Amino acid sequence: MYLCDHCQQQISANVPTYSLIVQTRPVIYPKRSQANRYHKNHRLERPNDAGGEGFETVKTIKVCPDCYRALSAS
């Protein structure tokens, strides 16, 4: 039993909830030297993390199945 974040209706029990991402932002991850550590053939390996760019989630809402179908179709 939960409140849908979109239609504000109370949804009965045993009805699945869906997470919907409504806002993202671009992000740039910097390069990190020797960021990871692991052993390979009894030697310590310390490879670099190349970094990169992408998107990260800012806001996620919990919606009912009807709202999920309506919002994800558009």
> How near is the Cβ of 33 to Zn ion at its closest, in Å?
47
Q: Taking CB under 5 A as the rule, does residue 68 contact Zn ion?
A: no
Residue 12 or 33: the one with the smaller Cβ distance to Zn ion is 12
Mask for 2-31, x = binds Zn ion (CB under 5 A): --x-xx------------------------
Give the CA-trace dihedral at 52, 53, 54, 56, to 10 degrees: 90
- Enumerate residues 6+ apart whose C-beta is below 8 A from 7: 63, 64, 66, 67
> How near is the Cβ of 62 to Zn ion at its closest, in Å?
9
